[in-house]
Amino acid sequence: MAYSDKVLDHYNNPRNVGSLDKKDPSVGTGLVGAPECGDVMKLQIKVNADTGIIEDAKFKTFGCGSAIASSSLATEMLKGKTVEEALAIKNTELVNELSLPPVKIHCSVLAEDAIKAAIQDYKAKAETPAPAATA
């Protein structure tokens, strides 16, 4: 199978690889997929509580080149967006940008799921106050 130049670029130079502190209340973590299905994505966002803007995004992905490219591109798109804007990101944007073939659409769906899961995790944390330090 031939890969698009953009997929190859993200595979060879993945953007924003890494991890943020899961316990930080300003960080939301999404972990989607399953090893037996051949792809797992971990996507994290760091949100400025005052502005609601996503200041940082990181990912790690176990999966094919298209899955790596989808999550790499997703982190690029997230940075600078508000949480609400991020929720509006659709997998089709990833498909178009990366020229994914039909057989790889599920990679973009997984990346969209990862974004939503990370935001959900962030919101859940914001609603429940951080546990008080035990004496």
Is residue 37 part of the annotated active site? The answer reads yes
Please, what is the minimum distance in Å from the beta carbon of residue 29 to other proteins?
10
Distance from C-alpha of 43 to C-alpha of 38, rounded to nearest angstrom: 17
Please, what is the minimum distance in Å from the beta carbon of residue 37 to other proteins?
6
Strand, coil or helix: what is 54? strand
The catalytic position among 7, 40, 98, 107 is 107
Instruction: Using the CB atoms, write b or e for 103-133: b if 16+ within 10 Å.
Output: ebbbbbbbbbbbbbbbbebbeebeeeeeeee
Please, what is the minimum distance in Å from the beta carbon of residue 129 to other proteins?
26
Report the DSSP beta bridge partners of residue 33. Answer: 40
Check: CB of residue 15 under 8 Å from CB of residue 97: no
Beta carbon nearer to other proteins, 39 or 121: 39
The catalytic position among 18, 22, 37, 38 is 37
Is residue 64 part of the annotated active site? The answer reads no
Beta carbon nearer to other proteins, 48 or 90: 90
Work out whether strand 54-62 and strand 27-34 pair parallel, antiparallel, or are unpaired: unpaired
Beta carbon nearer to other proteins, 21 or 49: 21
The residues binding other proteins (CB under 8 A) are 3, 8, 11, 14, 17, 19, 31-42, 60-65, 67-68, 103, 106, 110, 113
Active site residues: 37, 107
